[in-house]
């Protein structure tokens, strides 16, 4: 037993189902068979995006609770916390991208699919307030299955209360770049996700308001295979660009550079 590796060496690709060896995934965790990017942990995202060791975590103001006594919710929270080693589906802090100091938020799809609840909403408002206060550009990695049903109307009201802070942020002239990653749906996409100055998406990410299954059931429509993919949204004019994660850090740096070029005080 002693020679068993701590982490499994093989994992399957969510898209093509093939078994891929850790070494085959490579630095950017892209499937060598179908080319789809693997969903990342918060740590992998931080490592891939920000200057080494530059991320400084900010603690979340509140902790999640099962206030409605919703069946199995308390268990789900505990399991998600054990699995991700995070308190909730968002991690916030400050970090550097090519020496630009930014406020950063990274949502976590491995924590109950990044669903938006009281704590996640508060975390997003917290990092927006921090960006406002310190006048830092805000870079937000969005991923969310939508509003978290287990907190009912309280999850829904994160949408308008986040938007109120985001509107102040944007009005104050602070730069806000959102990167939509797999998946970005419902309560997240219909609030802060698309409301930033720039909206980029990672390749192959699923992005939309209603889920495919719901659309098929309610409208009876046949949906194209590529429907709600980042590439499909780009074709329909809804994104600034689709960026492969291999190039994402460079693109973010370029965008930040372009907003400070000519800045006398920069």
Contacts to other proteins by CB under 8 A: 67-71, 118, 146-147, 149, 151-157, 159-161, 163-164, 166-167, 186-187, 189-195, 207-210, 214-215, 217-219, 221, 223, 227-228, 236, 238
- Min dist CB 19 to other proteins, Å, is 28
The Cα 187–Cα 113 span in angstroms is 12
Q: Are 62 and 119 in contact (CB under 8 A)?
A: yes
Q: Which of 195, 189, 192, 190 lies closest to 230, judged by CA?
A: 189
> Please, what is the minimum distance in Å from the beta carbon of residue 74 to other proteins?
13
Q: Rank residues 13 and 165 by Cβ distance to other proteins and give the closer one.
A: 165
Quick one: 147 or 242, whose CB is closer to other proteins? 147
The pair of three-digit structure tokens given for residue 242, joined into one six-digit string: 């689709």
User: Is 53 annotated for ligand binding?
Assistant: no
List Cβ neighbours of 187 (8 Å cut-off, separation of 6 or more). Answer: 115, 116, 144, 146, 147, 155, 156, 158, 159
What is the nearest approach in angstroms of other proteins to the Cβ of residue 194?
Answer: 4
| Beta carbon of residue 54, minimum distance to other proteins (angstroms, whole number) | 31
Rounded-to-integer distance, Cα 129 and Cα 136, Å: 10
Which CB sits closer to other proteins, 46 or 199?
199
Q: Is 34 annotated as a binding residue?
A: yes
**For other proteins, the closer CB: 36 or 227:** 227
Nearer to other proteins, 46 or 159 (CB): 159
Check if the beta carbon of residue 1 is closer than 8 Å to that of residue 10: no
- Tell me the C-alpha distance between 237 and 49, whole Å: 26
Tell me the closest approach of the beta carbon of residue 83 to other proteins, in angstroms.
19
Pick 31 or 180: Cβ nearer other proteins = 180
Query: CB of 201: closest distance to other proteins in angstroms?
Result: 12
31 assigned binding-site residue: yes
The verdict on whether residue 65 carries a ligand-binding annotation is no
Residues contributing to the annotated binding site for Zn(2+): 13, 16, 31, 34
């Amino acid at each position: 037993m002693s020679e068993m590796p701590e982490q499994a060496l093989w994992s399957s690709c969510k898209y093509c189902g093939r078994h891929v060896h850790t070494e085959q995934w490579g630095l950017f965790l892209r499937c060598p068979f179908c080319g789809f990017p693997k969903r990342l942990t918060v740590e992998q995202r931080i490592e891939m995006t920000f200057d080494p060791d530059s991320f400084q975590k900010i603690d979340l103001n509140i902790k999640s609770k099962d206030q409605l006594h919703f069946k199995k919710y308390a268990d789900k929270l505990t399991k998600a916390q054990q699995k991700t080693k995070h308190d909730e589906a968002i991690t916030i802090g400050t970090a550097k991208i090519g020496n630009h100091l930014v406020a950063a938020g990274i949502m976590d799809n491995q924590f109950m699919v990044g669903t938006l609840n009281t704590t996640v909403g508060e975390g997003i408002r917290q990092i927006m307030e921090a960006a406002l206060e310190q006048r830092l550009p805000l870079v937000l990695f969005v991923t969310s299955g939508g509003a978290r049903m287990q907190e009912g109307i309280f999850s829904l009201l994160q949408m308008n209360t986040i938007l109120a802070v985001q509107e102040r942020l944007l009005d104050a002239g602070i730069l806000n770049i959102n990167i939509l990653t797999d998946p970005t749906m419902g309560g997240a996409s219909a609030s802060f996700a698309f409301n930033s100055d720039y909206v980029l998406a990672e390749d192959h990410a699923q992005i939309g308001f209603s889920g495919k299954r719901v659309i098929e059931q309610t409208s009876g429509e046949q949906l194209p295979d590529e429907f709600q993919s980042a590439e499909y949204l780009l074709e329909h004019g809804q994104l600034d660009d689709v960026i492969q994660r291999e190039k994402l850090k460079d693109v973010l740096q370029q965008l930040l550079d372009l907003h400070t070029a000519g800045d006398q005080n920069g």
